[in-house]
Amino acid sequence: MSQRFGFSPLWIGVIAIAGLLIYINLPVKEQSSQRGGRLTPVVTERVLIADFPVTLQALGTAKANESVNITPQVSDVITALHFSDGQGVEAGTVLARLNSNEQKARLNEININLDEAERQLTRIKNLALSNSTSAQLLDEQEARVKALNAQREVAQENLDKRQIVAPFSGKLGLRQVSLGAYVKPGDVLTTLDDLDTIKVDFAISERHLPTVEKGQTVFAESVAYPGIQFTGRITNVDSRIDPATRSFNIRTEIDNSQQQLRPGMLLTVTLQKRVLSTLVIDEKALVPDQDKQFVFKVVDGKAVKTQVIIDERRPGRVQILSGISENDEVVVQGTLRIRDGSGLRILRTNNAPSSSIPGQE
pLDDT score of 361 more than 50: no
CA–CA distances in Å: residue 361 to residues 227, 238, 314, 356, 357: 11, 31, 14, 7, 7
Quote the pLDDT of residue 130: 75
- The average pLDDT across 187-204 equals 94
Quote the pLDDT of residue 289: 87
Q: What is the CATH number of domain 100-161?
A: 1.10.287
> 318 pLDDT band (50/70/90 cuts)?
confident
Model confidence pTM above 0.85: no
pLDDT score of 37 more than 60: no
Quote the pLDDT of residue 17: 73
39-69: pLDDT as tens digits: 889 889 888 888 777 778 899 999 999 999 9
> 316 pLDDT band (50/70/90 cuts)?
confident
Quote the pLDDT of residue 353: 56
- The average pLDDT across 163-176 equals 94
> 290 pLDDT band (50/70/90 cuts)?
confident
**Mean of the per-residue pLDDT values for the chain?**
85
In the Cβ-directed half-sphere of 84, how many Cα atoms lie within 13 Å? Answer: 1
Q: Among the CATH numbers 3.50.30.10, 2.40.420.20, 3.30.200.20, 3.20.20.300, which is that of 28-50+277-351?
A: 2.40.420.20
Does domain 55-65+194-276 fall under CATH 2.40.30.170? My reply is yes
Quote the pLDDT of residue 22: 63
14-30: pLDDT as tens digits: 777 776 566 545 554 44
Report the helix count and the strand count for the chain, using DSSP H and E. Answer: 4, 19
Listed residue (289, 287, 284, 282) closest to 338, CA to CA: 287
Listed residue (108, 98, 99) closest to 155, CA to CA: 108
> 93 pLDDT band (50/70/90 cuts)?
very high
Domain-by-domain residue ranges, the chain? 28-50+277-351, 55-65+194-276, 73-98+163-188, 100-161
- Domain 73-98+163-188 adopts which CATH fold? OB fold (Dihydrolipoamide Acetyltransferase, E2P) (2.40.50)
d(CA 76, CA 284): 70
Is residue 65 within 8 Å of 252, Cβ to Cβ?
no
